[in-house]
């Protein structure tokens, strides 16, 4: 699979990235590891995760998958949104909390905390689950410009980069949140991961500010109208033209949906 260097960084990632937000929907650990192995077998080398995904289980599975071959892959994780009640150690705990969350939504809704203290604790916990000393990208997860102490977090990120725990930072969220950050050209806007589609071009706010699209997602899930009749292969080809210099984030629970990528991306 072809690779690109993400704008504003020296980090090379695969043109397709794998998102682990739904990884915990596979109950068995063997199934989850097989899915990650399939992603790697078609050439995907960048994986996106977060402590909120599967209440920490996604990071744990990714750590098992990458153990002993960390240098082969690049990783994004995040701070800011956390699982209420802390991390789960296994799929049984995740599914139990999900079931109870139908009656008690507070058990599954993310806890929002932009303090440096919580970010430090979270990053260290993520590194332990990922079985690594560093992550390539650390993003603020759905950051609201009005709620974040941006200067304090920027100082912290710079310290963690000097400490070798992160290589780059940025923001991950919907365009309605991120475009405000980009409009003021804040130093936290080093790398952006945001939703885009072939219909609505939500990420145009980046292009209008002279920025390349970096990490984008939503091309297959947002199909509407005539696009519903187009194959995933066709849509992804168009998405790669749309995001010509970055990486497109895909997520699936079915390994067979990844196998065709090897032919598409030769």
Query: Domain containing 28 — which CATH number?
Result: 3.20.20.100
Let me know: does 34 contact 92? Beta carbons within 8 Å: no
CB 29 within 8 A of CB 60: no
Contacts of 45 (CB under 8 A, 6+ apart): 1, 3, 13, 14, 72, 73, 74
Supply the pLDDT for residue 226: 46
Q: In whole angstroms, what is the distance from residue 83 CA to residue 222 CA?
A: 26
Q: Chunked in runs of 10, what are the mean pLDDT values of the chain (266 residues)?
A: 95 97 90 96 96 92 96 98 79 68 72 96 98 98 96 97 98 97 96 96 97 96 60 88 96 87 66
CB of 112 within 8 A of CB of 81? yes
Burial (CB count <10 Å: 0-12, 13-18, 19+), residue 207: exposed
pLDDT of residue 109: 82
- Give the per-residue pLDDT at 157: 98
Angle made by CA atoms 166, 210, 244, in degrees to the nearest 5: 75
Structural domain boundaries enclosing 175:
3-264
Distance CA 150, CA 201 (A): 28
pTM: 0.93
Alpha carbons 171 and 175: distance in angstroms, whole number: 11
- Would you state the pLDDT for residue 83? 86
Structurally, the chain folds into a number of domains equal to 1
Q: What CA–CA distances, in Å, run from 125 to 75, 114, 214?
A: 15, 16, 27
Contact indicator for 56, 87 with CB cutoff of 8 Å:
yes
pLDDT at 91: 73
pLDDT of residue 87: 75
């Amino acid at each position: 699979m072809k690779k690109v260097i993400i704008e504003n960084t020296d980090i090379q990632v695969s043109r397709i990235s794998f998102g682990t937000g739904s990884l915990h929907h596979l109950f068995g650990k063997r199934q989850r590891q097989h899915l990650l192995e399939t992603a790697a077998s078609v050439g995907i080398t960048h994986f996106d995760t977060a402590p909120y995904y599967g209440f920490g289980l996604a990071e744990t599975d990714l750590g098992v998958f990458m153990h002993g071959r960390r240098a082969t892959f690049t990783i994004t994780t995040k701070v800011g949104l956390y699982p209420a009640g802390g991390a789960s150690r296994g799929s049984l705990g995740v599914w139990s909390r999900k079931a109870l969350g139908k009656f008690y939504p507070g058990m599954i809704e993310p806890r929002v905390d932009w303090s440096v203290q919580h970010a430090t604790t979270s990053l260290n916990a993520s590194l332990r689950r990922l079985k690594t000393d560093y992550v390539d990208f650390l993003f603020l997860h759905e950051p609201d410009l009005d709620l974040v102490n941006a200067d304090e977090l920027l100082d912290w990120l710079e310290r963690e980069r000097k400490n070798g725990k992160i290589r780059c930072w940025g923001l991950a969220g919907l365009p309605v949140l991120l475009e405000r950050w980009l409009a003021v050209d804040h130093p936290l806007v080093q790398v952006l991961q945001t939703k885009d589609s072939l219909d609505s071009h939500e990420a145009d706010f980046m292009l209008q500010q002279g920025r390349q699209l970096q990490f984008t997602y939503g091309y297959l899930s947002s199909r509407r109208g005539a696009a519903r009749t187009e194959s995933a292969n066709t849509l992804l080809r168009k998405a790669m033209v749309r995001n010509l210099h970055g990486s497109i984030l895909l997520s699936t629970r079915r390994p067979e949906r990844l196998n065709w990528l090897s032919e598409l991306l030769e």
